[in-house]
Structure 1
Amino acid sequence: MPRVEEIRAFLDELAPQALAEDWDNVGALVDCGSNVTSVMMALDITDEVVSEAEMAGCQLIVSHHPVIFHPLKAVGRSDVAFRMIKKSISGICMHTNMDAADGGVNDILAIIFGLQEVRKLDGMGRVGRLRAPTSAPQLAALCREKFGAAVKYADAGRPVSTLAVVGGSGGDFIPAALAAGADCLLTGEAGHHDALDAKRLGLSLVAAGHFATEFPLMPVLGDKLKRRFPELRVLVSKRCRDPFVYL
């Protein structure tokens, strides 16, 4: 059975840590050093996910969001990392490096929406041509159908032929999307003023949910792990959910 370090080395081949933003924290953030027979894939490592991994007999959780983000000055029983160490469950986190990597979050979004002639957007997002022009309301409805998520949009009132996609929080990519010739930016979340700016500049904006636009990574990444390590049992978390409840 592979050890945590072997799995981390393979994942680093897929999404090198050098691709991560300077402010990010990625890699084997909790390493209990054990052999791994079962892996849990989750967008976030929460108490619920740790309990699920323990019940399923997993020695490792692979997540997108870092379980340790801000520097820790102390560790106590309420910290998720403490619980992981106590249960001998390691954690490998692949965040902005997996956003930027080939085959990562944003390439998966490009595939979901059938983008053609795909190119990189500011090193992290993706931009490409839709198979057929659509509108911002139709694109928002398609997101709701594909993701089963609450979707909001700002309509600049022009057909959408070229689409930029940025999973997670992508409001900062409005200038890059405009420079790339996009008619619309599809992201997970964006602010009020982002929407105002986008409409003023003639760019439609679709916000389909941070969780919804990033979670599709987990089964895809899990499948790659399974192909590389056929002896591994790979599970996708059922208790990793959007933290928001929508009325």
Structure 2
Amino acid sequence: MLSCQVIMNALDHLAPRSLAEDWDNPGLLVGSFAQKVSRIMVALDVDDAVVDEAIERKADMIVAHHPAIFHGMKQLRTDLPLGRRLAKLVTHHIAVAAAHTNLDIARGGVNDVLAARLGLEKLSAFVVTGESDGEVESLGRIGTLPAPVSIEDFAGHVKTSLHVSHVRLAAAANRPVRCVAVCGGAGAEFIDKAAIRGADVYVTGDVKYHEAQRAVELGMHVVDAGHFGTEFPVVSVLAEHLRAALENERGEIEIFITNRQQDVFQVVI
């Protein structure tokens, strides 16, 4: 077993909390830094299915991308979904930690994993958030494909590479794709920035109708691969990072990923 503090130190090394946006809520959200942990489950969300799975698989801790507690709480109502989940976690002594925007920004985090899945090369910063050790930190990444492709072929490539059931494409005329901007999760607010940076296509999730329309008016394609689809690939990578970071610690630890988490959306044809 390892203390929760040791695990949080490893997580902070991988995705420093200092990188997180001011409005975010990463870190240890349930449990104690002193409690002992022998089994960690890594997931994207801490939803009911994940909590039940953690209990059944005897996990002592859940490390997730999305914070289990996001907004301030004034009551712990066990007749409501969040309160019921938190009560269940406390009852079963399961600690919960989150690495959210800090993992989005971190090198090797959400956006580097997304870019790698899509085969992008020559990556550079997209939405600059700060500077650390002389290097620029940013949300999202911009990179290039080895060779230009049609937008239809690229959209198919995104679908296959992310193992999603579908993507939504807003195509802007007959513009070949070489320069690609990506932002895992909900990144539609950066459509104008992607266009200004010269991206042929922007890959993100949760794009609304008028936002897609705006991208097309700017002459840039948009591929919406979903919030889940653009972020879930980081889960397995995060698990591997934690295994590597903790392998030399004194104490046995087992790290595994959820096998029940799925996109809240289903496609009905």
Query: What secondary structure does 2:5 align onto?
Result: helix
Q: Is the 8 A contact 1:125 1:165 kept in 2?
A: yes
Q: Any stretches of 5+ residues in structure 2 without a counterpart?
A: 128-137
Q: Is the 8 A contact 2:10 2:246 kept in 1?
A: no
CA displacement at 1:131 relative to structure 2: 0.6
Deviations 1:24-83 (A, max 9, x none): 111001124421110001100012111111111110000000100111111132422221
| Percent identity of equivalent pairs | 40
TM-score by length of 2: 0.89
Question: Using the alignment, how far apart are the partners of 2:215 and 2:150 within structure 1?
Answer: 15
Matches within 5 A, 1:112-131: 112-122=117-127, 123-131=138-146
Matches within 5 A, 1:1-247: 1-32=1-32, 33-77=34-78, 78=80, 79=83, 80-122=85-127, 123-146=138-161, 147-157=163-173, 158-230=175-247, 231-247=252-268
C-alpha RMSD of the superposition: 1.2
Q: Is the 8 A contact 1:36 1:60 kept in 2?
A: yes
Question: Using the alignment, how far apart are the partners of 1:142 and 1:101 within structure 2?
Answer: 25
Query: What secondary structure does 2:267 align onto?
Result: coil
Question: Using the alignment, how far apart are the partners of 1:243 and 1:204 within structure 2?
Answer: 25
Number of corresponding residues: 247
CA displacement at 1:211 relative to structure 2: 0.5
TM-score by length of 1: 0.96
Question: Using the alignment, how far apart are the partners of 1:12 and 1:34 within structure 2?
Answer: 18
Question: Using the alignment, how far apart are the partners of 1:189 and 1:228 within structure 2?
Answer: 33
Match of 2:131 in 1: none
